[in-house]
Structure 1
Protein backbone atom coordinates (compact mmCIF):
# COMPACT_ATOMS: atom_id res chain seq x y z
CA UNK A 1 0.00 0.00 0.00
CA UNK A 2 1.30 3.43 -0.89
CA UNK A 3 2.39 5.51 2.11
CA UNK A 4 0.30 8.64 2.71
CA UNK A 5 1.65 11.96 3.95
CA UNK A 6 0.50 14.53 6.45
CA UNK A 7 1.46 18.20 6.58
CA UNK A 8 5.19 18.72 6.27
CA UNK A 9 7.66 21.43 7.08
CA UNK A 10 10.61 22.16 4.82
CA UNK A 11 12.90 20.06 7.02
CA UNK A 12 10.78 17.65 9.02
CA UNK A 13 8.12 15.42 7.56
CA UNK A 14 5.17 13.92 9.41
CA UNK A 15 4.53 10.94 7.14
CA UNK A 16 2.17 8.30 8.48
CA UNK A 17 4.55 5.90 10.22
CA UNK A 18 4.63 2.20 9.54
CA UNK A 19 3.74 1.58 13.21
CA UNK A 20 0.75 3.93 13.11
CA UNK A 21 -0.49 2.26 9.93
CA UNK A 22 -0.03 -1.28 11.21
CA UNK A 23 -1.53 -0.38 14.58
CA UNK A 24 -4.62 1.08 12.94
CA UNK A 25 -5.05 -2.06 10.82
CA UNK A 26 -4.69 -4.30 13.87
CA UNK A 27 -7.27 -2.28 15.79
CA UNK A 28 -9.68 -2.44 12.87
CA UNK A 29 -9.23 -6.21 12.69
CA UNK A 30 -9.76 -6.64 16.41
CA UNK A 31 -6.17 -7.73 16.99
CA UNK A 32 -4.27 -7.02 20.02
CA UNK A 33 20.93 7.49 18.37
CA UNK A 34 27.27 6.76 10.38
CA UNK A 35 27.81 8.67 13.62
CA UNK A 36 30.37 7.45 16.16
CA UNK A 37 28.07 5.60 18.51
CA UNK A 38 26.12 4.02 15.65
CA UNK A 39 29.35 2.60 14.22
CA UNK A 40 30.36 1.00 17.51
CA UNK A 41 30.60 -2.76 17.34
CA UNK A 42 28.85 -4.98 19.91
CA UNK A 43 31.00 -5.13 23.03
CA UNK A 44 32.48 -1.69 22.51
CA UNK A 45 32.24 0.75 25.42
CA UNK A 46 31.51 4.42 25.01
CA UNK A 47 32.32 7.09 24.63
CA UNK A 48 29.67 8.26 27.11
CA UNK A 49 29.77 10.44 30.21
CA UNK A 50 27.33 11.62 32.89
CA UNK A 51 27.36 13.39 36.25
CA UNK A 52 26.09 11.49 39.29
CA UNK A 53 26.01 14.27 41.86
CA UNK A 54 29.56 15.66 41.87
CA UNK A 55 31.06 12.45 40.50
CA UNK A 56 31.56 11.63 36.85
CA UNK A 57 30.67 8.27 35.32
CA UNK A 58 32.85 7.62 32.28
CA UNK A 59 32.45 4.86 29.70
CA UNK A 60 35.42 4.99 27.37
CA UNK A 61 37.03 1.64 26.77
CA UNK A 62 36.40 0.78 30.42
CA UNK A 63 33.85 2.02 32.95
CA UNK A 64 35.05 4.30 35.74
CA UNK A 65 33.88 6.81 38.34
CA UNK A 66 35.67 9.89 39.64
CA UNK A 67 36.33 9.70 43.37
CA UNK A 68 36.06 13.43 44.14
CA UNK A 69 39.76 13.75 44.93
CA UNK A 70 41.13 13.84 41.41
CA UNK A 71 41.30 10.07 41.05
CA UNK A 72 39.18 7.46 39.34
CA UNK A 73 37.75 4.13 40.46
CA UNK A 74 37.32 1.40 37.88
CA UNK A 75 33.84 -0.12 37.88
CA UNK A 76 32.56 -3.48 36.74
CA UNK A 77 30.88 -3.15 33.37
CA UNK A 78 27.37 -4.57 32.92
CA UNK A 79 27.40 -8.28 32.12
CA UNK A 80 25.02 -7.69 29.22
CA UNK A 81 27.59 -5.85 27.10
CA UNK A 82 29.37 -2.61 26.29
CA UNK A 83 27.85 0.79 27.04
CA UNK A 84 26.94 3.26 24.29
CA UNK A 85 25.05 5.85 26.35
CA UNK A 86 24.54 6.99 29.96
CA UNK A 87 21.87 9.00 31.79
CA UNK A 88 21.29 10.11 35.38
CA UNK A 89 18.77 12.24 37.28
CA UNK A 90 19.39 14.49 40.33
CA UNK A 91 16.20 13.13 41.91
CA UNK A 92 17.66 9.62 42.02
CA UNK A 93 21.29 9.91 43.18
CA UNK A 94 23.26 6.78 42.48
CA UNK A 95 20.92 5.61 39.72
CA UNK A 96 22.56 5.31 36.32
CA UNK A 97 20.82 4.15 33.16
CA UNK A 98 23.01 2.70 30.42
CA UNK A 99 22.16 1.85 26.82
CA UNK A 100 24.03 -1.18 25.55
CA UNK A 101 25.78 -1.85 22.25
CA UNK A 102 24.47 -5.40 22.25
CA UNK A 103 20.90 -4.26 22.89
CA UNK A 104 18.92 -3.40 25.98
CA UNK A 105 19.09 -1.03 28.94
CA UNK A 106 20.71 -1.75 32.28
CA UNK A 107 20.41 0.19 35.56
CA UNK A 108 22.67 0.72 38.52
CA UNK A 109 21.23 1.94 41.82
CA UNK A 110 24.60 2.25 43.60
CA UNK A 111 26.59 4.64 41.46
CA UNK A 112 27.75 2.13 38.88
CA UNK A 113 29.06 -0.69 41.06
CA UNK A 114 26.25 -3.16 40.36
CA UNK A 115 23.93 -3.49 37.36
CA UNK A 116 20.53 -5.00 36.63
CA UNK A 117 19.06 -5.58 33.17
CA UNK A 118 15.92 -3.53 32.49
CA UNK A 119 15.08 -4.48 28.91
CA UNK A 120 11.73 -6.27 29.06
CA UNK A 121 9.89 -5.53 25.81
CA UNK A 122 12.70 -3.63 24.07
CA UNK A 123 13.75 -4.60 20.54
CA UNK A 124 17.01 -6.53 20.31
CA UNK A 125 19.14 -3.76 18.83
CA UNK A 126 21.78 -1.27 20.07
CA UNK A 127 20.52 1.49 22.37
CA UNK A 128 22.23 4.53 20.93
CA UNK A 129 20.96 7.06 23.49
CA UNK A 130 19.11 7.20 26.82
CA UNK A 131 17.66 10.03 28.87
CA UNK A 132 15.58 10.36 32.03
CA UNK A 133 12.45 12.53 32.01
CA UNK A 134 13.22 15.89 33.56
CA UNK A 135 10.31 15.89 36.03
CA UNK A 136 9.77 12.13 36.36
CA UNK A 137 12.94 10.28 37.41
CA UNK A 138 11.35 6.85 36.95
CA UNK A 139 10.55 7.60 33.30
CA UNK A 140 13.35 6.64 30.92
CA UNK A 141 13.58 7.07 27.16
CA UNK A 142 15.73 4.92 24.91
CA UNK A 143 16.66 5.36 21.25
CA UNK A 144 16.88 2.02 19.44
CA UNK A 145 18.97 1.73 16.30
CA UNK A 146 16.79 0.96 13.29
CA UNK A 147 13.59 1.32 15.31
CA UNK A 148 12.60 4.47 17.21
CA UNK A 149 12.05 6.10 20.60
CA UNK A 150 10.92 3.82 23.46
CA UNK A 151 9.58 4.83 26.87
CA UNK A 152 9.47 3.21 30.31
CA UNK A 153 7.48 4.73 33.17
CA UNK A 154 8.73 2.27 35.81
CA UNK A 155 12.51 2.64 35.71
CA UNK A 156 12.95 0.25 32.83
CA UNK A 157 10.92 -2.70 34.09
CA UNK A 158 8.67 -2.51 31.04
CA UNK A 159 8.83 -0.56 27.79
CA UNK A 160 6.51 0.69 25.04
CA UNK A 161 7.14 2.43 21.73
CA UNK A 162 6.71 6.21 22.09
CA UNK A 163 7.61 7.43 18.60
CA UNK A 164 8.99 6.24 15.29
CA UNK A 165 12.28 7.64 14.08
CA UNK A 166 12.01 11.10 12.48
CA UNK A 167 11.57 11.28 8.72
CA UNK A 168 14.30 13.61 7.46
CA UNK A 169 15.51 14.12 3.90
CA UNK A 170 13.33 11.34 2.51
CA UNK A 171 14.34 8.64 4.98
CA UNK A 172 13.84 7.56 8.58
CA UNK A 173 16.87 8.61 10.62
CA UNK A 174 18.30 6.99 13.71
CA UNK A 175 18.49 9.00 16.92
CA UNK A 176 22.06 9.60 18.02
CA UNK A 177 21.38 11.65 21.18
CA UNK A 178 18.51 12.36 23.59
CA UNK A 179 17.73 15.01 26.21
CA UNK A 180 14.57 15.60 28.24
CA UNK A 181 14.04 19.34 28.57
CA UNK A 182 11.68 20.86 31.14
CA UNK A 183 10.12 23.88 29.41
CA UNK A 184 6.81 25.64 29.97
CA UNK A 185 6.28 25.59 26.19
CA UNK A 186 5.94 21.80 26.04
CA UNK A 187 2.83 19.72 26.38
CA UNK A 188 2.85 19.30 30.14
CA UNK A 189 6.13 21.17 30.29
CA UNK A 190 8.34 18.48 28.72
CA UNK A 191 10.11 18.18 25.38
CA UNK A 192 12.26 15.32 24.15
CA UNK A 193 15.12 16.73 22.10
CA UNK A 194 16.99 14.37 19.80
CA UNK A 195 20.11 14.44 17.72
CA UNK A 196 20.37 12.72 14.36
CA UNK A 197 23.01 12.39 11.69
CA UNK A 198 21.43 15.45 10.02
CA UNK A 199 20.99 17.71 13.04
CA UNK A 200 18.50 18.52 15.79
CA UNK A 201 14.81 17.70 16.14
CA UNK A 202 12.35 17.45 19.02
CA UNK A 203 8.91 16.19 20.01
CA UNK A 204 6.58 17.39 22.81
CA UNK A 205 5.54 14.71 25.28
CA UNK A 206 2.24 14.25 23.45
CA UNK A 207 4.43 12.36 20.93
CA UNK A 208 2.41 13.79 18.08
CA UNK A 209 5.14 14.85 15.65
CA UNK A 210 8.87 15.41 15.33
CA UNK A 211 9.48 19.06 14.54
CA UNK A 212 12.10 21.74 14.04
CA UNK A 213 13.20 23.68 17.11
CA UNK A 214 11.62 27.14 17.06
CA UNK A 215 10.34 29.80 19.47
CA UNK A 216 6.83 29.56 20.90
CA UNK A 217 4.87 26.80 22.56
CA UNK A 218 4.24 23.28 21.33
CA UNK A 219 0.90 24.01 19.68
CA UNK A 220 2.24 27.09 17.90
CA UNK A 221 5.11 25.05 16.53
CA UNK A 222 2.86 22.19 15.47
CA UNK A 223 0.46 24.53 13.67
CA UNK A 224 2.96 26.87 12.04
CA UNK A 225 4.41 24.51 9.44
CA UNK A 226 7.49 26.73 9.35
CA UNK A 227 11.16 25.87 9.89
CA UNK A 228 13.07 27.28 12.84
CA UNK A 229 13.70 31.01 12.25
CA UNK A 230 17.02 30.88 14.09
CA UNK A 231 19.84 33.09 12.85
CA UNK A 232 22.39 30.80 14.50
CA UNK A 233 21.31 27.14 14.45
CA UNK A 234 23.50 24.11 14.92
CA UNK A 235 25.33 23.24 11.70
CA UNK A 236 22.91 21.36 9.45
CA UNK A 237 23.91 17.98 8.11
CA UNK A 238 26.28 17.31 11.01
CA UNK A 239 25.85 14.38 13.39
CA UNK A 240 24.94 15.25 16.97
CA UNK A 241 26.94 12.78 19.06
CA UNK A 242 25.52 13.86 22.43
CA UNK A 243 23.02 16.34 23.85
CA UNK A 244 22.33 17.44 27.43
CA UNK A 245 20.06 19.89 29.23
CA UNK A 246 21.15 21.61 32.42
CA UNK A 247 18.70 20.62 35.19
CA UNK A 248 19.30 23.86 37.08
CA UNK A 249 18.77 25.95 33.93
CA UNK A 250 16.62 23.98 31.45
CA UNK A 251 16.97 26.48 28.62
CA UNK A 252 20.74 25.82 28.63
CA UNK A 253 21.68 22.99 26.25
CA UNK A 254 25.06 21.60 25.29
CA UNK A 255 25.72 19.50 22.19
CA UNK A 256 28.75 17.45 21.13
CA UNK A 257 29.40 17.55 17.37
CA UNK A 258 32.34 16.70 15.12
CA UNK A 259 32.83 20.46 14.72
CA UNK A 260 33.06 20.97 18.48
CA UNK A 261 31.01 21.75 21.58
CA UNK A 262 28.01 24.01 21.12
CA UNK A 263 25.74 25.76 23.64
CA UNK A 264 22.26 27.24 23.47
CA UNK A 265 20.80 29.60 26.07
CA UNK A 266 17.27 29.60 24.61
CA UNK A 267 16.36 25.89 24.45
CA UNK A 268 17.99 25.20 21.12
CA UNK A 269 16.92 28.07 18.86
CA UNK A 270 20.23 29.96 18.80
CA UNK A 271 23.59 28.19 19.27
CA UNK A 272 27.15 29.36 19.81
CA UNK A 273 30.31 27.30 19.41
CA UNK A 274 32.24 26.95 22.68
CA UNK A 275 35.06 24.72 21.49
CA UNK A 276 36.30 23.43 18.15
CA UNK A 277 37.56 20.19 19.67
CA UNK A 278 35.98 17.18 17.94
CA UNK A 279 33.41 16.22 20.59
CA UNK A 280 32.12 12.70 21.19
CA UNK A 281 30.14 13.11 24.43
CA UNK A 282 29.19 15.84 26.90
CA UNK A 283 27.80 16.10 30.45
CA UNK A 284 26.61 19.02 32.59
CA UNK A 285 26.42 19.21 36.39
CA UNK A 286 22.87 19.00 37.77
CA UNK A 287 23.14 22.08 39.99
CA UNK A 288 25.74 24.14 38.10
CA UNK A 289 24.89 24.81 34.46
CA UNK A 290 28.37 26.31 33.92
CA UNK A 291 30.17 23.10 34.87
CA UNK A 292 30.47 20.96 31.76
CA UNK A 293 32.76 18.06 30.86
CA UNK A 294 33.26 16.61 27.38
CA UNK A 295 35.00 13.68 25.77
CA UNK A 296 36.94 14.76 22.70
CA UNK A 297 39.28 12.99 20.32
CA UNK A 298 42.15 14.41 22.39
CA UNK A 299 40.79 13.40 25.82
CA UNK A 300 38.60 14.77 28.59
CA UNK A 301 38.15 18.53 28.87
CA UNK A 302 36.32 20.56 31.50
CA UNK A 303 34.85 24.05 31.74
CA UNK A 304 33.65 25.82 34.90
CA UNK A 305 32.39 28.92 33.09
CA UNK A 306 29.89 27.62 30.56
CA UNK A 307 32.43 26.80 27.89
CA UNK A 308 34.29 30.11 27.81
CA UNK A 309 37.49 28.40 28.95
CA UNK A 310 38.53 24.75 28.91
CA UNK A 311 41.20 22.72 30.69
CA UNK A 312 42.31 19.13 30.25
CA UNK A 313 40.87 16.80 32.86
CA UNK A 314 43.58 14.31 33.74
CA UNK A 315 42.60 10.79 34.74
CA UNK A 316 44.95 9.85 37.59
Structure 2
Protein backbone atom coordinates (compact mmCIF):
# COMPACT_ATOMS: atom_id res chain seq x y z
CA UNK A 1 0.00 0.00 0.00
CA UNK A 2 1.29 3.42 -0.92
CA UNK A 3 0.68 6.51 1.15
CA UNK A 4 1.09 9.77 -0.74
CA UNK A 5 2.67 12.54 1.26
CA UNK A 6 0.64 15.66 1.79
CA UNK A 7 1.71 18.95 0.24
CA UNK A 8 4.93 19.91 1.94
CA UNK A 9 4.50 22.80 4.33
CA UNK A 10 6.99 24.66 6.49
CA UNK A 11 7.06 23.07 9.93
CA UNK A 12 6.22 25.04 13.03
CA UNK A 13 9.64 26.02 14.28
CA UNK A 14 10.64 26.26 17.89
CA UNK A 15 12.82 29.22 18.81
CA UNK A 16 16.55 28.70 18.86
CA UNK A 17 17.75 28.07 22.40
CA UNK A 18 20.94 27.12 24.18
CA UNK A 19 22.91 24.43 22.38
CA UNK A 20 23.90 22.70 25.61
CA UNK A 21 21.05 20.17 25.92
CA UNK A 22 21.88 16.44 25.75
CA UNK A 23 21.67 15.03 22.21
CA UNK A 24 19.40 12.16 21.21
CA UNK A 25 20.34 12.33 17.50
CA UNK A 26 23.52 13.23 15.62
CA UNK A 27 24.44 13.53 11.94
CA UNK A 28 27.31 14.89 9.87
CA UNK A 29 26.35 17.24 7.04
CA UNK A 30 29.66 17.14 5.21
CA UNK A 31 32.15 18.26 7.85
CA UNK A 32 29.47 19.98 9.95
CA UNK A 33 27.91 18.22 12.94
CA UNK A 34 24.18 18.57 13.64
CA UNK A 35 22.93 17.60 17.11
CA UNK A 36 19.30 17.35 18.21
CA UNK A 37 17.89 17.01 21.70
CA UNK A 38 15.74 19.51 23.56
CA UNK A 39 17.42 21.97 21.20
CA UNK A 40 18.93 21.81 17.71
CA UNK A 41 22.49 22.92 16.98
CA UNK A 42 25.15 22.86 14.29
CA UNK A 43 28.93 23.03 14.45
CA UNK A 44 30.94 23.94 11.36
CA UNK A 45 34.37 24.00 13.02
CA UNK A 46 34.95 20.50 14.31
CA UNK A 47 32.92 20.96 17.46
CA UNK A 48 34.82 23.93 18.85
CA UNK A 49 31.65 26.05 18.75
CA UNK A 50 27.98 25.28 18.15
CA UNK A 51 25.25 27.57 16.90
CA UNK A 52 21.57 27.16 17.75
CA UNK A 53 19.11 26.46 14.95
CA UNK A 54 15.36 26.84 14.82
CA UNK A 55 13.86 23.47 14.02
CA UNK A 56 10.89 21.15 14.47
CA UNK A 57 9.91 20.01 17.94
CA UNK A 58 10.52 16.47 19.08
CA UNK A 59 13.36 15.32 16.81
CA UNK A 60 14.09 11.65 17.54
CA UNK A 61 16.47 10.84 14.68
CA UNK A 62 18.60 12.55 12.03
CA UNK A 63 20.11 11.35 8.74
CA UNK A 64 22.18 12.85 5.93
CA UNK A 65 23.82 11.63 2.71
CA UNK A 66 27.32 12.65 1.56
CA UNK A 67 26.17 13.07 -2.04
CA UNK A 68 23.57 15.70 -1.08
CA UNK A 69 25.25 18.29 1.15
CA UNK A 70 22.68 20.31 3.04
CA UNK A 71 19.93 17.67 2.90
CA UNK A 72 18.90 16.53 6.38
CA UNK A 73 15.91 14.37 7.33
CA UNK A 74 14.54 14.28 10.87
CA UNK A 75 12.18 11.72 12.41
CA UNK A 76 9.61 13.38 14.66
CA UNK A 77 7.94 12.28 17.89
CA UNK A 78 4.65 13.72 16.62
CA UNK A 79 4.79 11.53 13.50
CA UNK A 80 6.14 12.11 10.01
CA UNK A 81 9.47 13.57 9.05
CA UNK A 82 10.89 17.02 8.41
CA UNK A 83 13.32 17.62 5.55
CA UNK A 84 15.87 20.43 5.27
CA UNK A 85 17.81 21.23 2.11
CA UNK A 86 20.02 23.91 3.68
CA UNK A 87 21.75 22.13 6.51
CA UNK A 88 19.02 22.45 9.12
CA UNK A 89 18.09 26.11 8.83
CA UNK A 90 14.69 25.71 7.13
CA UNK A 91 12.44 22.65 7.24
CA UNK A 92 9.39 21.20 5.48
CA UNK A 93 7.13 18.53 6.95
CA UNK A 94 6.20 15.31 5.17
CA UNK A 95 3.58 12.75 6.14
CA UNK A 96 4.82 9.16 6.43
CA UNK A 97 2.39 6.26 6.33
CA UNK A 98 -0.93 7.15 7.92
CA UNK A 99 0.44 10.10 9.84
CA UNK A 100 0.28 8.26 13.17
CA UNK A 101 3.11 6.95 15.30
CA UNK A 102 6.44 8.51 16.15
CA UNK A 103 9.24 8.14 13.61
CA UNK A 104 11.98 6.67 15.78
CA UNK A 105 14.64 6.21 13.07
CA UNK A 106 15.55 7.48 9.61
CA UNK A 107 18.31 6.75 7.11
CA UNK A 108 19.23 7.21 3.45
CA UNK A 109 19.98 4.34 1.06
CA UNK A 110 23.74 3.92 0.83
CA UNK A 111 24.02 4.75 -2.88
CA UNK A 112 20.79 6.71 -3.44
CA UNK A 113 20.48 10.12 -1.77
CA UNK A 114 16.84 10.48 -2.85
CA UNK A 115 15.78 7.22 -1.17
CA UNK A 116 14.88 7.54 2.50
CA UNK A 117 13.74 5.01 5.07
CA UNK A 118 11.68 5.74 8.18
CA UNK A 119 10.71 3.47 11.07
CA UNK A 120 7.26 4.21 12.49
CA UNK A 121 6.59 3.13 16.06
CA UNK A 122 3.89 0.46 16.16
CA UNK A 123 3.95 0.07 12.38
CA UNK A 124 7.04 -0.85 10.36
CA UNK A 125 9.66 0.29 7.86
CA UNK A 126 8.58 2.80 5.20
CA UNK A 127 10.54 4.07 2.21
CA UNK A 128 10.49 7.09 -0.07
CA UNK A 129 12.19 7.17 -3.48
CA UNK A 130 11.70 10.92 -4.01
CA UNK A 131 13.37 12.56 -1.00
CA UNK A 132 10.38 12.25 1.30
CA UNK A 133 7.49 13.47 -0.84
CA UNK A 134 5.80 10.05 -1.20
CA UNK A 135 6.10 6.96 0.99
CA UNK A 136 5.23 3.27 0.79
CA UNK A 137 5.45 0.40 3.26
CA UNK A 138 8.67 -1.56 2.73
CA UNK A 139 8.55 -4.12 5.54
CA UNK A 140 6.61 -5.03 8.65
CA UNK A 141 8.35 -4.96 11.99
CA UNK A 142 10.58 -7.98 12.72
CA UNK A 143 9.39 -10.82 14.94
CA UNK A 144 12.07 -11.27 17.60
CA UNK A 145 12.00 -13.04 20.97
CA UNK A 146 8.32 -13.98 20.59
CA UNK A 147 7.17 -10.43 19.89
CA UNK A 148 6.94 -7.92 17.06
CA UNK A 149 9.67 -5.36 17.73
CA UNK A 150 9.81 -1.67 16.90
CA UNK A 151 12.83 -0.37 15.01
CA UNK A 152 14.76 2.10 17.17
CA UNK A 153 17.64 2.80 14.78
CA UNK A 154 18.49 2.33 11.09
CA UNK A 155 21.57 2.21 8.88
CA UNK A 156 21.95 1.42 5.18
CA UNK A 157 24.99 -0.75 4.49
CA UNK A 158 26.57 -1.35 1.09
CA UNK A 159 27.72 -4.99 1.19
CA UNK A 160 29.25 -7.17 -1.49
CA UNK A 161 26.25 -9.49 -1.24
CA UNK A 162 22.51 -8.90 -1.36
CA UNK A 163 19.99 -7.88 -3.97
CA UNK A 164 21.99 -4.99 -5.35
CA UNK A 165 24.31 -5.14 -2.36
CA UNK A 166 22.30 -2.84 -0.09
CA UNK A 167 21.10 -4.00 3.32
CA UNK A 168 19.05 -2.15 5.91
CA UNK A 169 20.31 -2.75 9.44
CA UNK A 170 17.91 -2.05 12.30
CA UNK A 171 18.40 -1.80 16.02
CA UNK A 172 15.58 -2.93 18.30
CA UNK A 173 15.04 -3.07 22.05
CA UNK A 174 16.71 -6.50 22.13
CA UNK A 175 19.49 -6.30 19.55
CA UNK A 176 20.13 -5.93 15.84
CA UNK A 177 18.58 -7.38 12.69
CA UNK A 178 18.78 -6.70 8.96
CA UNK A 179 16.92 -7.08 5.67
CA UNK A 180 18.17 -6.83 2.04
CA UNK A 181 16.61 -4.14 -0.10
CA UNK A 182 14.46 -6.75 -1.85
CA UNK A 183 12.64 -6.79 1.53
CA UNK A 184 12.06 -10.55 1.53
CA UNK A 185 12.55 -11.14 5.26
CA UNK A 186 14.42 -9.97 8.33
CA UNK A 187 17.42 -12.05 9.42
CA UNK A 188 19.95 -12.15 12.23
CA UNK A 189 23.39 -10.80 11.38
CA UNK A 190 25.45 -13.89 10.59
CA UNK A 191 28.98 -14.70 9.45
CA UNK A 192 29.71 -15.74 5.90
CA UNK A 193 27.86 -14.84 2.72
CA UNK A 194 24.84 -12.75 3.66
CA UNK A 195 22.62 -13.87 0.78
CA UNK A 196 23.52 -17.54 1.24
CA UNK A 197 22.53 -17.24 4.89
CA UNK A 198 19.26 -15.60 3.90
CA UNK A 199 18.39 -18.40 1.47
CA UNK A 200 19.50 -21.19 3.79
CA UNK A 201 17.58 -19.90 6.78
CA UNK A 202 19.49 -21.25 9.76
CA UNK A 203 23.14 -20.24 9.99
CA UNK A 204 25.83 -19.93 12.65
CA UNK A 205 25.25 -17.11 15.14
CA UNK A 206 27.46 -14.02 15.20
CA UNK A 207 30.89 -14.67 16.65
CA UNK A 208 30.81 -11.69 19.04
CA UNK A 209 27.37 -10.06 18.95
CA UNK A 210 26.18 -6.92 20.66
CA UNK A 211 25.10 -7.43 24.29
CA UNK A 212 21.86 -9.39 24.38
CA UNK A 213 18.75 -7.58 25.55
CA UNK A 214 20.08 -4.03 25.29
CA UNK A 215 18.28 -1.46 23.12
CA UNK A 216 20.31 -0.36 20.09
CA UNK A 217 19.55 3.35 20.25
CA UNK A 218 21.58 4.44 17.23
CA UNK A 219 23.46 2.88 14.31
CA UNK A 220 25.93 4.61 12.02
CA UNK A 221 27.70 3.28 8.96
CA UNK A 222 30.92 4.63 7.48
CA UNK A 223 30.36 5.72 3.88
CA UNK A 224 34.00 5.16 2.90
CA UNK A 225 34.29 1.79 4.69
CA UNK A 226 31.14 -0.24 4.07
CA UNK A 227 31.82 -2.98 6.62
CA UNK A 228 32.36 -0.54 9.49
CA UNK A 229 29.42 0.05 11.82
CA UNK A 230 29.01 1.90 15.10
CA UNK A 231 26.24 1.44 17.66
CA UNK A 232 25.07 3.41 20.70
CA UNK A 233 23.77 1.31 23.60
CA UNK A 234 23.19 1.91 27.33
CA UNK A 235 26.48 0.04 27.89
CA UNK A 236 28.50 2.35 25.63
CA UNK A 237 29.64 2.84 22.05
CA UNK A 238 30.39 -0.33 20.10
CA UNK A 239 32.02 -0.94 16.72
CA UNK A 240 32.17 -3.65 14.07
CA UNK A 241 34.57 -3.90 11.13
CA UNK A 242 32.81 -6.78 9.39
CA UNK A 243 29.22 -5.51 8.96
CA UNK A 244 27.99 -6.53 12.37
CA UNK A 245 29.33 -10.04 12.96
CA UNK A 246 32.02 -9.19 15.51
CA UNK A 247 31.50 -6.24 17.88
CA UNK A 248 33.81 -4.64 20.41
CA UNK A 249 33.11 -1.91 22.94
CA UNK A 250 35.00 1.31 22.28
CA UNK A 251 34.01 3.12 25.46
CA UNK A 252 31.61 2.52 28.34
CA UNK A 253 28.85 4.88 29.43
CA UNK A 254 25.24 5.58 28.57
CA UNK A 255 25.28 6.26 24.81
CA UNK A 256 22.22 7.66 23.06
CA UNK A 257 23.56 8.62 19.62
CA UNK A 258 26.58 8.20 17.35
CA UNK A 259 27.65 9.66 14.00
CA UNK A 260 30.57 9.06 11.63
CA UNK A 261 32.27 11.68 9.49
CA UNK A 262 31.47 10.82 5.83
CA UNK A 263 35.02 11.36 4.60
CA UNK A 264 36.90 9.87 7.58
CA UNK A 265 35.57 6.64 9.16
CA UNK A 266 37.99 7.10 12.08
CA UNK A 267 36.26 10.33 13.14
CA UNK A 268 33.13 9.79 15.18
CA UNK A 269 31.03 11.73 17.65
CA UNK A 270 28.83 10.18 20.34
CA UNK A 271 26.27 11.42 22.83
CA UNK A 272 27.64 9.83 25.98
CA UNK A 273 26.50 10.28 29.59
CA UNK A 274 24.60 13.46 28.70
CA UNK A 275 27.43 15.16 26.79
CA UNK A 276 29.11 15.03 23.39
CA UNK A 277 32.47 13.33 22.89
CA UNK A 278 34.57 12.86 19.79
CA UNK A 279 37.25 10.43 18.67
CA UNK A 280 39.64 10.85 15.76
CA UNK A 281 41.10 7.33 15.99
CA UNK A 282 38.15 4.90 15.67
CA UNK A 283 37.24 5.23 19.32
CA UNK A 284 40.61 4.53 20.93
CA UNK A 285 40.73 7.94 22.61
CA UNK A 286 37.96 10.44 23.29
CA UNK A 287 37.69 14.15 24.11
CA UNK A 288 34.76 16.35 25.08
CA UNK A 289 33.16 18.67 22.55
CA UNK A 290 32.28 22.28 23.30
CA UNK A 291 28.76 22.84 24.60
CA UNK A 292 28.36 26.46 23.50
TM-score for both structures, normalised by structure 1: 0.83
Alignment pair present for 1:73 and 2:17:
no
Residues 132 and 141, structure 1, Cα contact 8 Å, conserved in 2? yes
Cα distance per residue 1:77-111 (max 9 Å; x no partner): 12xx3100000000000000000000001100000
CA pair 227-46 structure 1, distance change in 2 beyond 3 A: farther
- Partner residue, 1:8: none
Question: Equivalents in 1 of 2:43, 2:182: separation in Å?
Answer: 37
CA pair 172-45 structure 1, distance change in 2 beyond 3 A: farther
Alignment pair present for 1:57 and 2:44:
no
- Bigger strand fraction: 2
Residues 45 and 83, structure 1, Cα contact 8 Å, conserved in 2? no
Instruction: Map 1:67-216; keep pairs closer than 5 Å.
Output: 67-68=44-45, 70-78=48-56, 81-119=57-95, 121-216=97-192
Residues 22 and 274, structure 2, Cα contact 8 Å, conserved in 1? no
Say which SS state the counterpart of residue 307 (structure 1) adopts: coil
Name structure 1 gaps, 5 residues minimum.
1-18, 20-43
CA pair 121-234 structure 1, distance change in 2 beyond 3 A: closer
CA pair 228-64 structure 1, distance change in 2 beyond 3 A: farther
Alignment pair present for 1:220 and 2:196:
yes
Question: Equivalents in 1 of 2:86, 2:202: separation in Å?
Answer: 45
CA pair 283-71 structure 1, distance change in 2 beyond 3 A: same
Q: Tell me which moved more, 299-308 or 117-126.
A: 117-126
Question: Equivalents in 2 of 1:243, 1:135: separation in Å?
Answer: 17
Cα distance per residue 1:100-134 (max 9 Å; x no partner): 00000110000000001122544411000000000
* Bigger Rg over Cα: 1
Q: Tell me which moved more, 117-126 or 175-184.
A: 117-126
Cα distance per residue 1:181-216 (max 9 Å; x no partner): 011112101000000001000000010000011123
CA pair 160-214 structure 1, distance change in 2 beyond 3 A: same
Name structure 2 gaps, 5 residues minimum.
2-20
Aligned positions, number:
272
Question: Equivalents in 1 of 2:65, 2:96: separation in Å?
Answer: 21
Residues 122 and 159, structure 1, Cα contact 8 Å, conserved in 2? no
Residues 46 and 82, structure 1, Cα contact 8 Å, conserved in 2? no
- Cα deviation, residue 218, structure 1: 3.8
- Bigger helix fraction: 1
